[in-house]
Amino acid sequence: MRVVADTNIVVSGLLWHGPSRELLNLARHGTVEPFTSGTLLAELEEVLQREKFLERLTAAQIQPHDLVTGYAALATVIQPVQIAPVVLRDPDDDAVVACAVAAGATTIVSGDDDLLALKKHQEIETCKGRGVCCANTGRLISARAHSNVRFNPESFRGCSTRSRRSCWRGSLSPANGLK
């Protein structure tokens, strides 16, 4: 299943346990296929550099750019298509929709009320990070079995460009990391 996660979901999944981390675990295990764009990655890096995340990142000895690079390796980075304005209250959210359209995504996962109010654009559903609704069956997909997995920045550090995707997939380790 092709999924585009809004920046708030990616940040939450990278830094904390919970439904957003479950989505990253689903991607790591190949249950969902995440897509992103250069615009969304730039937003992710800007958000991760905010002061409110500094203590958490410092404690983990990880830089925002390392997390962005890791997420870019986990997801497929695509060029978004041009779309007419869709999210009128927050035009920046159109970048998420444009990415989803270009990816042929079935689902946008977000905690943003403006995107969630959209409910559906073309055939793309929007849902909260509590689970991903499988468009084919209507059943909720969950990664609760993997929810004890923690991000271990040490296992990503030093990965070559060629091996980044496999390094990132292996960097979610129950041994260490952000709690």
Please report, for the chain, how many H helices and E strands are present, in that order: 8, 10
Assign residue 160 a region (left: φ > 0; alpha: ψ between -120 and 50; beta: otherwise): beta
Residue 143 reports pLDDT greater than 70: no
Provide the β-strand partners of residue 35: 4, 76
Closest CA to 106 of 72, 133, 79, 144: 133
Q: Summarize pLDDT for 104-130 with one digit per residue, the tens.
A: 999 999 999 988 988 888 889 999 876
pLDDT given at position 128? 84
Residue 100 reports pLDDT greater than 70: yes
Q: Summarize pLDDT for 50-87 with one digit per residue, the tens.
A: 999 999 999 999 999 999 999 999 999 999 999 989 88
pLDDT given at position 8? 95
Query: What is the pTM for the complete model shown?
Result: 0.78
33 φ/ψ angles, rounded to the nearest 5 degrees: -115, 105
pLDDT given at position 131? 54
Quote the CA–CA distance of 152 and 60 in Å, as a whole number.
Answer: 8
Amino acid at 27: A
Domains and CATH numbers, the chain: 2-173 (3.40.50.1010)
> Exposed, middle or buried by CB within 10 Å (0-12, 13-18, 19+), for 23?
buried
pLDDT given at position 120? 85
Helix (H, G, I), strand (E, B) or coil at 38: helix
Quote the CA–CA distance of 21 and 74 in Å, as a whole number.
Answer: 13
Question: What mean pLDDT do residues 30-54 have?
Answer: 96
Residue 25 reports pLDDT greater than 60: yes
Quote the CA–CA distance of 130 and 18 in Å, as a whole number.
Answer: 8
